[in-house]
Structures are given as C-alpha cells and as structure tokens.
Amino acid sequence: MNDTLPHRSLILGSSSRYRRELLERLRLPFEVFAPDLDESPLPAETPLQLATRLAMAKAQAVAKLYPHAIVIGSDQVAELHGRAMGKPGDHQRAVEQLTAMRGQEVVFHTAVAVVCAETGFHAGDVAPVRVKFRNLSFAEIENYLHAEQPYDCAGSAKSEGLGIALLAAIESDDPTALIGLPLIRTTQLLRQAGLDPLLALKNGANA
C-alpha cells in the first residue's frame, strides 16, 4: 500500500447517529452526508442481499457528489426465519417485532461499503451477527420499550444499552456490528482504499 497517497476527506454516508458515534472511535476526521435513497427491498431479495445492496448504493450515491472523498456506506437488516425486519418506527411495531423474536435466533446482517469515485475503488463486506433472544414476557417487552424507545433500530433493540437484557447470546466476529457499523471490516476496507487509521494518526491526521 502506498502510504504517501494525497489526503482524501472521509465521508460517512449515513444519517445514523449510532454509526457516527462508532466511526468517531477511529479518531479520524470525517464529515456526514446522508443520501436520499429508496430502501425498499427488491422482489425476491433476501435480507442479506438487501443490506449489501443498500450499503453500496449509499456509498456510491455520496461518492458521485464528492468524487475525491473516501465514502463509507452501511446498512443493517435483521432476519427472522428468512424474513427481513427493519426499523420499527413506532411502539406498536416494536412490540410486534420483539414478540415475534422472543425465544428465537435472529441474524443481523450488517453490511459496509467503501467507495472512492476518483480512484475507482469500491468494495464491501458483511458482518453477520447471530442473536438469541430470551423468551421475553409481555411486561419485559413493554418496560424495555418505554425505557429505551429503540424505534430507529433494526430489530427494536439496542444491545449497547438496556437491550442487552433482552438477549441470551450474541455470536459475532466483529464486536461493533450489532450496533450498526462493523469496525474491523470498515478499517480493512479503508486500508484497501488507501486510508490506514493507524498511519493517519501517526502522520498527525487527528492527533
């Protein structure tokens, strides 16, 4: 890898505050630009395919506007018995999701893509997270939702908060994937694109 590449700005193509907070852990300066995309699934599209397509589409949409930048796109889709479960949006839908997931294993497909239009770089990866939900009571579901109101989270739960009490087990090789951005895979893709977070720190990018 060429460590003397000219500086490129980094853009997170997402409106998610969770992804923004996760990316801040890398201590790299970045901007946020949320693309306006239709996130509806295509006919016969699986949850995995949906997450992968949307992550790349978000990155490419922003990269067209900022061709010199390195752009990160990400998307997460929860899957229960082959069916996609998105963000609930409101209390009633969240109740329905958690009721359906109690005692079940849910796979959270967290996809990330990195694109630089000027160099032609584009690559992506997916971090699957297998989550086993406890056999929750109605009271537990209601109390949790009123306490945390995770209506903007796929699967109606925040594992980084009180939502951890909903779960029996988590299986993942990328520990931040369930929150919304798999940082191991993200840093791998950034290095491939020419931006090594550790070398950027060494060179004073965000010292």
Please state the pTM of the whole predicted model: 0.90
Residue 204 clears pLDDT 70, i.e. is over it: no
Residue 202: pLDDT band with limits 50, 70, 90 = low
Q: Is 75 a catalytic residue?
A: yes
Q: At CA 1, angle to CA 118 and CA 187, rounded to 5? A: 80
Cβ(125)–Cβ(185) below 8 Å: yes
Q: What is the pLDDT of residue 6?
A: 47
Contacts of 158 (CB under 8 A, 6+ apart): 148, 150, 179
The stretch 33-58 carries a mean pLDDT of 94
Residue 5: pLDDT band with limits 50, 70, 90 = very low
- Write down the catalytic residue from 3, 38, 75, 173: 75
Residue 3 clears pLDDT 50, i.e. is over it: no
The first and second tokens of residue 128, run together, are 């699957």
Q: What is the pLDDT of residue 207?
A: 38
- pLDDT tens track for 138-192: 999 999 999 999 999 888 988 999 999 999 999 999 999 999 999 999 999 999 9
Q: Which domains can be identified in the chain, with CATH numbers? A: 10-202 (3.90.950.10)
- pLDDT tens track for 100-139: 999 999 999 999 999 999 999 999 999 999 999 999 999 9
Alpha helices in the chain (DSSP H): 17-23, 47-65, 91-101, 138-148, 183-193, 197-202
* Cα–Cα distance, 181 to 185 (Å, whole number): 9
Kindly state the percentage of the chain with pLDDT values over 90: 85
Q: Are strands 31-32 and 70-80 parallel, antiparallel or unpaired?
A: unpaired
Q: What is the pLDDT of residue 200?
A: 86
Residue 203 clears pLDDT 90, i.e. is over it: no
Cβ(84)–Cβ(126) below 8 Å: no
Residue 4 clears pLDDT 50, i.e. is over it: no
